[in-house]
């Protein structure tokens, strides 16, 4: 790659990053904490996605920054700064890792509600981009990111270093947290969960905040002590690769007898996933209609004494459902 074209790509990266920041700002993600704008302005996303995959008829096409064709390199760079998720790792044709949509990342970072000096644990290292954003805001030593796949953690560590950041990157089971780096003030998961691992609570300070994707939504829990936490879902929908790299469980594809218009409704699918295994789908439909198509913010999760349950409006009932451990 010639020096002239390299300079042109760097110039394009600066402009594309500025455009992405403006797009995120227009979404309102930073209304309550504009300091995250500086992180997105500074951290170069393209260094974290040296290649990624885009869907094409019959499969995926790989775009990468070292392609010999200048037009393909520019296409890769523009895509790296698009406000969309990027598939970064496939296994047997199935997505196992991705770089999340930047505007969603921005909203989650704001909703994490960090304070100067907070220690943050990220579950799901991905490309390392989110950890770098956190490290820019809080400092390297205040950020720990963990992932089960050593290839993912190795590349995340390398990407962060290339961008000038060195958060603590751990290869291990995210469900177990990272005891050697505890206690934490915030835990953020960037992978879909079926329930909140109780072990996380014991690694948190009282009053800590846990933000995690659960049932196509984001639940924000306040930790009371090592065995109890509670909180509600946020308005934002969220779809992530599952913890441990397993495919997202699809709970509606084999359900018969429900109206198609209902199965297409995003809020009903949220309820159906949240109550999977605990409530018959037709009972879920009756509840959904009776309660006037309840929005995500009416639902919450409680963890207490080794039990974990989701609820509508009130953690004490009458609508509560046990979550699988």
Report whether 48 contacts 159 (CB < 8 A): yes
H helix count then E strand count, the chain: 9, 14
Please, what is the angle between helix 266-274 and helix 281-290, to 10°? Answer: 130
Instruction: Give pTM, 2 decimals.
Output: 0.91
pLDDT score, position 55? 84
User: Is the bond leading into 183 cis (omega within 30 degrees of zero)?
Assistant: yes
Name which residue leads in pLDDT, 286 or 92. Answer: 286
Dump pLDDT digits (tens) for 53-71.
Answer: 998 888 888 999 999 998 9
Dump pLDDT digits (tens) for 173-197.
Answer: 999 999 999 999 999 999 889 899 9
Q: In what order do the strands lie in the sheet with 94-99?
A: 59-64, 51-56, 86-91, 94-99
Element (H, E) at 134: helix 129-138
Name which residue leads in pLDDT, 96 or 259. Answer: 259
CB-facing half-sphere around the CA of 74: CA atoms within 13 A: 9
Task: Let me know if domain 3-181 sits in CATH 3.40.50.150.
Answer: yes
Catalytic residues: 97
Percentage with pLDDT > 70 across the chain: 94
Report whether 195 contacts 212 (CB < 8 A): no
Q: Where are the domains of the chain?
A: 3-181, 248-322
Closest to 283 (Cα-Cα) out of 295, 271, 292, 294: 271
């Amino acid at each position: 790659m010639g020096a002239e074209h390299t300079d042109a790509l760097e110039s394009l990266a600066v402009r594309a990053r500025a455009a992405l920041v403006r797009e995120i700002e227009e979404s309102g993600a930073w209304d309550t904490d504009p300091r995250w704008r500086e992180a997105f302005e500074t951290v170069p996303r393209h260094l974290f996605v040296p290649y990624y995959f885009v869907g094409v008829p019959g499969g995926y096409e790989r775009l990468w920054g070292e392609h010999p064709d200048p037009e393909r390199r520019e296409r890769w760079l523009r895509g790296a700064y698009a406000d969309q998720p990027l598939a970064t790792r496939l296994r047997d044709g199935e997505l196992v890792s991705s770089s999340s949509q930047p505007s969603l990342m921005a909203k989650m970072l704001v909703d994490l509600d960090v304070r100067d000096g907070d220690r943050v644990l990220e579950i799901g290292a991905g490309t390392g981009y989110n950890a770098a954003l956190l490290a820019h805001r809080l400092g390297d030593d205040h950020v720990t990111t963990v992932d089960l796949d050593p290839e993912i953690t190795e590349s995340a560590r390398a990407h962060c270093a290339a961008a000038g950041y060195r958060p603590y990157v751990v290869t291990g089971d995210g469900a177990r947290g990272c005891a050697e780096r505890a206690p934490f003030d915030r835990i953020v998961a960037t992978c879909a969960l079926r329930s909140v691992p109780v072990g996380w609570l014991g690694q948190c300070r009282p009053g800590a905040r846990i933000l995690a994707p659960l049932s196509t939504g984001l639940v924000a829990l306040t930790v009371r002590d090592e065995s109890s936490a509670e909180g509600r879902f946020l308005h934002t929908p969220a779809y992530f690769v599952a913890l441990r790299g397993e495919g997202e469980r699809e709970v509606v594809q084999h359900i018969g007898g429900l109206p198609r218009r209902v199965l297409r409704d995003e809020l009903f699918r949220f309820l159906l996933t949240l109550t999977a295994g605990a409530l018959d789908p037709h009972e879920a439909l009756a509840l959904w209609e009776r309660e006037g198509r309840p929005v995500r913010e009416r639902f919450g999760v409680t963890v207490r004494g080794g039990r974990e349950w989701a609820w509508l409006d009130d953690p004490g009932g009458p609508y509560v459902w046990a979550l699988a451990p």
